[in-house]
Amino acid sequence: MPPQSDPSADREFFISRVFDAPRELVWTAWTDPRHLGRWWGPAHFTNPVCELDVRPGGAHRMVMRSPEGIDYPIKGRFVEVVRPERLVMTLDVSEHPESWHQLLNPAHKKGENPAGELLQTVVFEDLHGKTRLTIRTRFQTVAIRDSMLKIGMTEGWSQSLDRLTTVVCHQASV
């Protein structure tokens, strides 16, 4: 019998990075709002709002602010929390500006959420003092995933992980 492939894999975004920091430290950088607010989002973005209730069913809300002063709110719920191994959460970007919605899907109707609800799984793998972080984001459709990639999701996450590297390396040296 041939191996079964995951039918949702074509709707996923995947990124991974190894950090020269212990897993518990990388976990804390994701689950403590004081740390998450320092690195979440692309380069030069700030996070004036960073609220986390890290437990199954707990809410999260972040507001990324661009250098131009434009806010990009993200909200959702934690679906699964397995300390310090895994976080599964929903992401709702429906409060992003209308101009962003137009970039994602120019045909969407005003007031609709063109991105739908995203499901993000973050895995923290212990590598004997280092940590492999793997992020998988599942979209409702391939078209939504492709649009997100086109408007810079890979670059945004790469910049976020660069910022996370700075945070955890600074914490590891303290």
DSSP annotation of 34 reads H
CB 167 within 8 A of CB 38: yes
Instruction: Give the domain range for residue 96.
Output: 11-173
Does 138 map to a domain? Answer: yes
**Strand locations in 20-70 (E):** 46-52, 59-65
Q: What pLDDT sits at residue 106?
A: 84
Looking at the DSSP assignment, which residues form a beta bridge with residue 84? none
Q: What percent of the chain has pLDDT over 90?
A: 80
pLDDT score of 169? 85
Residue 118 lies in a domain: yes
**CATH no. for residue 153?**
3.30.530.20
pTM over 0.85? The answer is: yes
Torsion from C-alpha of 125, 126, 132, 135, nearest 10 degrees: 20
Amino acid identity of 168? V
- What is the residue type of 83? R
**pLDDT computed for residue 173 by the predictor:** 67
In a domain, 59, yes or no: yes
Residue 21 inside a domain? The answer is yes
Number of domains comprising the chain: 1
Q: Which residue has the higher pLDDT, 2 or 119?
A: 119
pLDDT tens, 36-90? 999 999 999 999 999 999 999 999 999 999 999 999 999 999 999 999 999 999 9
Specify if 1 maps to a domain.
no
Q: Which residues contact 112 (CB under 8 A, 6 or more apart)?
A: 101
Give domain status of residue 5, yes or no.
no
